[in-house]
Structure 1
Amino acid sequence: MGKTYSYRTKRRRIQRELEYLNHDALDVFKETTACSSPCLDLIAPIPDYLPTDRINLSEIVNNLQDPCVSISRLEVSSDLENNESLESVDTSEKSLKLGSERAIKHYNKQLSGEEKREENIKHALGQWAVESNVSQITVNKLLKILKFKAQLTFLTQDCRTLLHTGSNRVMNIKVMKSGLYYHFGLVNGIKRYSSTCVLDKHIKIAVGIDGLPISKSSTAAFWPILAYIMPHKQYVFPIGLYYGSDKPEDSNAFLSDFITEVLGLFDEIVINNESKKITIEVFSCDVPAKSYVLRIKGHSGFFSCTRCTIEGEYVHNRVCFPYDENGITKRNHEDYLNMVDEEHHVSPIISCLVLIPGIDIVNIFSLDYMHLVCLGIMCKLLNHWLTTMGPSSVRLPSWKVKTISDRLAQLKICITNDFSRKPRSLKYVRLFKATELRQLLLYTGPVVFENIISDDCYNHFLTLSVAMRILLSSDLNKYIDYARKLLEYFVKTFQQIYGSHLVSHNVHSLLHLADDYDKFGNLDNCSAFPFENYMKTLKKMIRKHEKPLQQVVRRYEELCDVQITKSNKCREFNFSIKEPDCFFSVKSGHIIQITDFNLSTGCIFGRSFKEQSDMYKIPLKSSNLGILIVKDLSVDIKQWKISSIEKK
């Protein structure tokens, strides 16, 4: 169903445009009559009752007083019969056949101050409704109050007109064997953010694929193909979306539209009048999604590792991958194409992703540390310490668990606003999100676990913590080889402390994690965190159980009509004069507490700590990682440039 306007609105706005055409269109008509130009299509044959020397278009507009009067004599108004939006009626090539932007610019110039105010109010209401995900019923109620009580008569009564919502019937939905698929388009997403992001000549795209359950009472789920323009990870957009009672039966059929579009982008395309080259830089998936897309064995398979040819062992009713002193043989793209290791594949047909020019199918899929380390290894360690899953030698008594929980509670006031969550008790450990586990691994863990867990377990944990801090820092690349050795030591020692039968697929994959740093840099550049954050946005687009895919498509179309608000997430940190957001390290090496700042001059004022010491010295001095114990705050207030702030 098209967009509707009242007859009064149509008459008033079309009158303005036709007055403009009254001066210009007739000249075009007369000139083109002599030369038989295609512009003759602009106006229908002149009726006998109108003078030939001048076409008074305002008389035709007056006929709109009677809705029954046909205005089909003029092609300019043909789209009104379908209740199309004013923008498409007045300026599109379908209605004017003029094909120039002059009419649009003229229309904008002709808007009076009152009309601009009306348009601004409409835009603000639409942006509020879309960004706040307000239901249509609620918006309709607000519109009626504003229209009839606040006398804002220019507002529509139906939010679908305000939001430019399309018809209930979403076109171009592809029916698959087990569900439905809609392709939003990679280029469409890039163009949408082209005015917000600074695009290089070479645009690199990160892609994420995963399943999203949308109901607790059924198996219905979304399988989105998401992407963002690197490094602008805060602007995630959908490329395609599948909905069904199960995941797509054939992964190649699921990816076919995506592959077709990517192959069409092999040559450079024009965005904002500039030639751009687009390449797929990385795929970020968890292990089940990766095995589904690549059509290979899952994490419980004997030959499931995507980076090497190690064969798993079946010990104590589980598949494990004990550390091999003899080294490992790495997989490569050619081996995948030729299916050299048949035990690695689950289908005689390989993934259609190999059709992408220049792709290295083995290394383009990152070892996502969100699933691998945070939800995998860190969660596994906690379960071994807190439950009966691990050996009795590492299990913690209840009083030690309570001590750790008390320490976490005390640290709440020390957690800056850069973190999305505050620490909470270990009794909620089964509910911990990936961000909480990441915080425990990198920040709070070395503090709360000290002198509580055994020395062997603590030093073993510190090995992982230090290695991950190196891999998640862009300025510690000089320690990358050391981080690789630390991860190798962690895997080797893991089977000594917890048992070789507990060396799972995730634990083994740590041996390959440093390779991703060599290829992508900081592991945050190739993680699934941005895509996981966008999943809740997709879920919020669903307002009822019926036709969830169509709902998401319509909500996204509404979102595309709203101006994108530039995010401030690109800032490395926030600073304040209030604790705990007032402590920083500066380039001179001092740790300071900010007492005041002046943004206009770019200066900060504060006091520095006189004494600094390492928190730990094994496996690496913590000062090398920017982790220090400080005390003895000076009395004198000094001044620094904001640009001198190095870390928080």
Structure 2
Amino acid sequence: MTRKRTISKKNLRFRRYRKVNKLISQRRNEVLNEIQLEDDTQRVSQLNMFNMNEPKLNESIGSWVKSHGITTRAVNDLLRLMNKAGVAQLPKDYRTLMKTPKTMEIVEKAGGKYWYNGIERNLQLIFSKLNENISIKLNFNMDGLPVFKSSQCVFWPILSSIHKMPHIRPMIISIWCGMKKPNNLTEYLEPFVIELKRLMQNGIWVNGYHIAIAFRCCICDSPARAFIKGTVNFNHTNGCQKCKVTGSKSAEAKRMYYAEIGCSPRTDIEFRNREHSSHHKERSVLEELEIDMIKAFPTSDPLHLFELGIMKRLLKVWLFGDVGYGRKWLKIDIVQINTLLRDMNKDKPREIHRSIRCLDDFKFWKGTEFRSFLLYYGIAVLKNYLPEDVYRHFLILVCATTICYTDVYRVFLPLSKIWFSRYIENYADIYGIHSIGSNVHLLNHVCDDVEMFGNLNDISTYAFENRLNFLKLRLKQPNLPLEQISRRIVELSLDYDDFYSCSIKNVAFPQYKHSEIRDGTQIFKEIIINGDCTFSSKRIADSWILTYSLEIFQFKYVMSTGNAVHVYGTPVPRLENFFTYPLSSSLLNIFKSDGKSETNLMSFNLNEIKAKMLRLKSCDDFVFIPLLHTLKK
């Protein structure tokens, strides 16, 4: 008799549980296999994608290396890791990735090493997409550049910029490298002169279109200008490049001074004929070019003449005193001025990129800080901290310089010439005749340079100085500096956007930001007129507008309706002249007010804006000064 097996409920549940677990385990394995297959497929797909776009990936990595100045060793390590990981078949070496030339034409010349890049090669790269005949004027710059802090090694590059094309960075034509400046002027300049002479005669052809080339001017500081022209130095008895003034040596101050005003000017013919032999040291190969050896070399570079020259000298005298000037600031005065500068920096508009540091850091100030102090901050800060005669004397300098900084005030240029002469005459009375050094004397010739070349920004070395800084940043080790920098330049020049272009790409102006809906209408609390002028109600410092009707408004918002753009703001009442000597400040669009704008909202068209204003606190009032680069005619 067969016994019937009975299964308890407990065992039955256990068997069902095991069966379910088995099914779950099987399904889990199937899912994991599917996921693994998908991962493998996706990885293969990604690898195939990288392989298909290897040239583009190489280009992207190369652009990243150029933008951030990555060292050769770091790039080689990155390439090795990426190749080892199988990300893509990338080059194994930095030189292959960056297309570094195997050899560079570096020769021994003028007591050092010399690499010539060429004018035509740069122009071919810049105008590679040219589709019409054009004419260009070139500015040139030569200057010494210390390479390392712990070495006497120095670069003497030749740079060039294209006039009226500020969106193109200066070209690097050649670089000389040695332990001091070139010991043979002809060897240093000859390759440059030979090519420039040919280009001035024939121009160049790009894509079947002709580029006519002209020499505009050579912009250098005083020592470099004397060197390349083969003349005596700027502090020599006959050192002036523009006139025949004779300097005198002050035994007390131990410096050369130039007290005469209105001396007869030098001429190109007299220069070439050596009619004043005491002015010359050697004959410059630049004389082979068809240029005016006097007028083509402006002496009014604002960076070295006004900012690092006269303004720096004035602050140094006011801070520390000088022979013949015993009215230096007291310690309490310096503390109060520092407080004013700190407060003014809080209200600095975004167009003034560098804040002015305290007077305690005066010796570390950059050129742009001296520029801001001369053109904007000085008249408000110094009013209560200089004797009246010294302050009025400073106002003469500010007004004359402001006129020369913009074409808007060109009608006042004859006045500026008179004021510069008056400034030099009074300089002797205030600071002593021995203080009329080379920079102060060169104020006699500023207006002549402005008449010939345009405002001071058109003969500035700022763009060239920035390019020199670029050269230093590309050096990664002290060995073979010229070989390093020449290779980096060739690598970078293959990409126009990375090396030559400094413009904002594909940006249309005006731009509107920070939108709101008010009463059913869209408004914007910020408007960018162009890359150098922005109005915003988010920051008080960016909200001050000058209109052509000579009214000042505090910007609130902007509204765009159809083709018209309406700006809304509250007016600033009771505008008055901030000073009346040597002219009424309102003629230079400088006003004072209690700074409290009215509450009534007014509107005007966008094209009625004349300038953006800087508001500074001065005593119990506010002074409003136009930012010169935003000023429109």
TM-score when normalising by structure 1: 0.78
Q: Deviations over 1:276-302 (max 9, x none)?
A: 210110111111101111111112210
Alignment correspondent of 1:333:
268
Percent of residue pairs identical: 26
CA RMSD of aligned residues (A): 2.3
Answer whether contact 1:283 1:366 (CA < 8 A) is retained.
yes
Matches for 1:53-132 after TM superposition, within 5 Å: 117-132=53-68
Alignment correspondent of 2:451:
518
Secondary structure at the counterpart of residue 214 of structure 2? strand
Alignment correspondent of 2:198:
264
Q: Distance in 2 between matches of 1:197 and 1:524?
A: 27
Q: Give the counterpart of 2:583 among 608, 620, 638.
A: 620
CA 1:494–1:252 in 2, change beyond 3 Å: closer, same or farther? same
CA 1:598–1:479 in 2, change beyond 3 Å: closer, same or farther? same
User: 1:196 offset after TM fit, Å?
Assistant: 8.3
Aligned residue identity for 1:217: S
Q: Give the counterpart of 1:606 among 564, 568, 572.
A: 568
Secondary structure at the counterpart of residue 593 of structure 1? strand
User: 1:183 offset after TM fit, Å?
Assistant: 0.8
CA 1:218–1:473 in 2, change beyond 3 Å: closer, same or farther? same
Q: Deviations over 1:98-154 (max 9, x none)?
A: xxxxxxxxxxxxxx98777443332222111112111122223333444444x4213
Deviates more, 1:630-639 or 1:218-227: 630-639
User: 1:250 offset after TM fit, Å?
Assistant: 1.4
CA 1:604–1:433 in 2, change beyond 3 Å: closer, same or farther? farther
CA 1:453–1:287 in 2, change beyond 3 Å: closer, same or farther? same
Alignment correspondent of 1:21:
none
CA 1:260–1:458 in 2, change beyond 3 Å: closer, same or farther? same
Alignment correspondent of 2:36:
none
Answer whether contact 2:113 2:178 (CA < 8 A) is retained.
yes
Aligned residue identity for 2:197: L
CA 1:351–1:199 in 2, change beyond 3 Å: closer, same or farther? farther
CA 1:205–1:453 in 2, change beyond 3 Å: closer, same or farther? same
Alignment correspondent of 1:52:
none
Q: Distance in 2 between matches of 1:331 and 1:588?
A: 45
| Structure number with larger C-alpha Rg | 2
User: 1:610 offset after TM fit, Å?
Assistant: 3.5
User: 1:372 offset after TM fit, Å?
Assistant: 1.3
Q: Distance in 2 between matches of 1:178 and 1:561?
A: 31
Matches for 1:25-424 after TM superposition, within 5 Å: 117-149=53-85, 151-167=86-102, 169-170=103-104, 172-194=105-127, 201-233=134-166, 235-265=169-199, 266-316=201-251, 318-324=254-260, 327-347=262-282, 350-357=283-290, 359-367=291-299, 368-424=301-357
Answer whether contact 2:246 2:258 (CA < 8 A) is retained.
no
Aligned residue identity for 2:397: L
User: 1:581 offset after TM fit, Å?
Assistant: 2.1
CA 1:576–1:135 in 2, change beyond 3 Å: closer, same or farther? farther
Secondary structure at the counterpart of residue 293 of structure 1? helix
Higher strand share goes to which structure? Answer: 2
Aligned residue identity for 2:599: V
CA 1:478–1:177 in 2, change beyond 3 Å: closer, same or farther? closer
Secondary structure at the counterpart of residue 509 of structure 1? helix
Answer whether contact 1:312 1:319 (CA < 8 A) is retained.
no
Aligned residue identity for 1:323: A
Secondary structure at the counterpart of residue 88 of structure 2? coil
Aligned residue identity for 2:227: Y
Alignment correspondent of 2:468:
535
Gaps of 5+ in 1: 1-111
CA 1:179–1:198 in 2, change beyond 3 Å: closer, same or farther? farther
Aligned residue identity for 2:502: S
Q: Distance in 1 between matches of 2:570 and 2:118?
A: 52
Q: Deviations over 1:552-590 (max 9, x none)?
A: 111111111224154347844234333222322233433
Q: Deviations over 1:487-545 (max 9, x none)?
A: 11110100010100111011111111110110001111011111111111000111111
Alignment correspondent of 1:576:
536
CA 1:244–1:198 in 2, change beyond 3 Å: closer, same or farther? farther
Alignment correspondent of 2:384:
451
In the alignment of these two chains, the number of paired residues is: 530
Secondary structure at the counterpart of residue 148 of structure 2? coil
Alignment correspondent of 2:609:
645
Deviates more, 1:622-631 or 1:192-201: 192-201
Secondary structure at the counterpart of residue 536 of structure 2? coil
Q: Distance in 2 between matches of 1:147 and 1:545?
A: 30
Alignment correspondent of 1:482:
415
Q: Distance in 1 between matches of 2:305 and 2:131?
A: 32
Alignment correspondent of 1:7:
none
Gaps of 5+ in 2: 1-47, 505-529, 613-633
User: 1:606 offset after TM fit, Å?
Assistant: 2.8
Aligned residue identity for 1:156: P
User: 1:601 offset after TM fit, Å?
Assistant: 5.8
Q: Distance in 2 between matches of 1:420 and 1:162?
A: 36
Alignment correspondent of 1:591:
552
Aligned residue identity for 1:363: K
Q: Distance in 2 between matches of 1:335 and 1:427?
A: 48
Answer whether contact 1:178 1:244 (CA < 8 A) is retained.
yes
Q: Deviations over 1:571-624 (max 9, x none)?
A: 442343332223222334332333334689673533132422222221122222
Q: Distance in 1 between matches of 2:548 and 2:92?
A: 58
Answer whether contact 2:141 2:220 (CA < 8 A) is retained.
yes
Secondary structure at the counterpart of residue 624 of structure 1? helix
Answer whether contact 1:605 1:637 (CA < 8 A) is retained.
no
Aligned residue identity for 2:176: Y
Q: Distance in 2 between matches of 1:381 and 1:153?
A: 61
Answer whether contact 2:51 2:89 (CA < 8 A) is retained.
no
Q: Give the counterpart of 1:425 among 353, 358, 374.
A: 358
